[in-house]
A and B are shown apart, each in its own frame.
Chain A
Amino acid sequence: MSALIGIGAGIAVFTGIGAGIGIGIATSKATEAIARQPEAKSEMNKTLILGCALAEATAIYGLVIAFLIIFFSK
C-alpha cells in the first residue's frame, strides 16, 4: 500500500513539467524582449514575475496534492 501511495504522490508532482516548460518559455521571450528594448526592462520584469507566479502555481498545486496524498492516506 505504501508503495502505491509513493507512486501516486510521484505522479502528482509531474505537474512540474508543465510549470517548467511554461516558465522557460516566458523567460526566454522576456530575455529576447529585453535585448530588443532594454529601456522597458522594469515593465517586462513585472509581467515576467506575474507570468512565472501563475505558471508556477500549477507545480505548487501538484506539490500540495502530493503532500495531501502522503499525509492523509494512512
Chain B
Amino acid sequence: MQDVASQLIEALGSKTVALPGLNGVQVPEFILTSWGIMALIMIMTLVFTRNLKVVPGKAQVVLEGIYLFIHNFLSDILGERGKRYIPYLGTVLLYLAVSNTIGLFGLTPPTKDLNTTAGLALMSIVLVEYAGIHEKGLRGYFKSFASPMPAMMPFNVLEIFIRPLSLCMRLFGNIFGGFVIMELIRLIVPVIIPLSFGFYFDVFDGLLQAYVFVFLTSLFMQEKLEA
C-alpha cells in the first residue's frame, strides 16, 4: 500500500523537461504539452480551412458542423452585441476540449496544473470586465456596481474575485481529481479497465468541463453586456 502511495505521489508531481539547445533551460512538462496542443490546433485549422468549396466535401461538413455548434451555442447566450467575443471563447473551447481529453493518449493534460487554469480564468475575467467597460463606458461600468441597489455593492465587487477563483478551481479540481483516479486505477489494474474509465473521466468529464467553463464565462459576459 505504501508502495502504491509513493508511486501515485510521484505521478502527480509536475515534471520539468530540459529544452535542447537552450543551455538546459527547464520547462515544466505541461507547458510543452500546451504548446503541442496549440501547434496541433493551428495546423489543423490551416489545413482544413484551405480550399473551402460552396458544395462541401466530407471534411468540410464536419468542420461546418463544429463551427455552427460553437457559433450557435455562444451567440444564443451572448446575443447580438456580444458577437465580437465569439472567436476568443470558441478558441478557448477548442483548446480546453483538446487539452482535457489528451489524457486518453497517455499525456498529462495541461489543465491538470493549477497555473494553466488560473491563467485561463484571469483571461476570462479580464475579458468579462472589458466587455462591461466597452459596452457602457467607464462611468456606466462603475455605476453598474450599485445595481440593483447601492447596498449590493460589496457583493458586486467581491464577484470580480470570486468568479475567476471559482472558474479556475472548478476546472483544476475536476481534471486533477479525474487524473488522480485514473492514475490509481492504472497502478492497480494496468490493462483494459483504465480505458473504459478513461472514456468517462477523460472524454465525458473533460468535454463537459470545457463546455461549462466557456458557458459560465459567456454567461458572466452576457450579464455585463445587458445590465
Chain A residue numbers with a CB within 8 Å of B215 are 46, 49-50, 53
Whose C-beta in chain B lies nearest to the C-beta of A60? B173
User: What separation, in Å, do the CA atoms of A71 and B114 have in the docked complex?
Assistant: 14
Does residue A64 face the partner (Cβ distance < 8 Å to B)?
Answer: yes
Does residue A14 face the partner (Cβ distance < 8 Å to B)?
Answer: no
Task: Report yes or no: A61 in contact with B216, Cβ–Cβ below 8 A.
Answer: no
Known: A50-B216, A50-B219. A60 touches B211 (CB 8 A): no
Chain A residue numbers with a CB within 8 Å of B180 are 67
Does residue A57 face the partner (Cβ distance < 8 Å to B)?
Answer: yes
Task: Report yes or no: B219 in contact with A60, Cβ–Cβ below 8 A.
Answer: no
Nearest-Cβ distance from residue B13 to partner chain A, whole angstroms: 9
Does residue A63 face the partner (Cβ distance < 8 Å to B)?
Answer: yes
Instruction: For B177, give its contact among A46, A50, A63 (CB under 8 Å).
Output: A63
Nearest-Cβ distance from residue B10 to partner chain A, whole angstroms: 13
Whose C-beta in chain A lies nearest to the C-beta of B76? A46
Majority secondary structure of chain A interface residues (helix, strand, loop or mixed) = helix
Number of interface residues of A (CB under 8 A): 12
Chain A residues near B (Cβ < 8 Å) = 46, 49-50, 53, 56-57, 60-61, 63-64, 67, 71
Number of interface residues of B (CB under 8 A): 16
Does residue B34 face the partner (Cβ distance < 8 Å to A)?
Answer: no
Instruction: State which of B122-130, B136-144, B164-172 sits at the interface with chain A.
Output: B164-172
User: What separation, in Å, do the CA atoms of A60 and B90 have in the docked complex?
Assistant: 25
Chain B residue numbers with a CB within 8 Å of A67 are 176, 180
User: Could you list some 30 contacts between A and B, CB below 8 A?
Assistant: A46-B215, A49-B211, A49-B212, A49-B215, A50-B212, A50-B215, A50-B216, A53-B170, A53-B212, A53-B215, A53-B216, A56-B170, A56-B174, A57-B166, A57-B169, A57-B170, A60-B169, A60-B170, A60-B173, A60-B174, A61-B169, A61-B173, A63-B173, A63-B176, A63-B177, A64-B169, A64-B172, A64-B173, A64-B176, A71-B9
Chain B residue numbers with a CB within 8 Å of A71 are 9
Whose C-beta in chain A lies nearest to the C-beta of B213? A53
Q: Which residues of B (210-224) have their CB < 8 Å from a CB of A? A: 211-212, 215-216, 219
Chain A residue numbers with a CB within 8 Å of B212 are 49-50, 53
Q: Given A53-B215, A60-B177, 5 more contacts at CB 8 Å?
A: A49-B211, A50-B216, A50-B219, A60-B173, A64-B173
Chain B residue numbers with a CB within 8 Å of A56 are 170, 174
Whose C-beta in chain A lies nearest to the C-beta of B211? A49
User: What separation, in Å, do the CA atoms of A20 and B176 have in the docked complex?
Assistant: 19
Chain A residue numbers with a CB within 8 Å of B174 are 56, 60
Q: Which residues of B (148-202) have their CB < 8 Å from a CB of A? A: 166, 169-170, 172-174, 176-177, 180
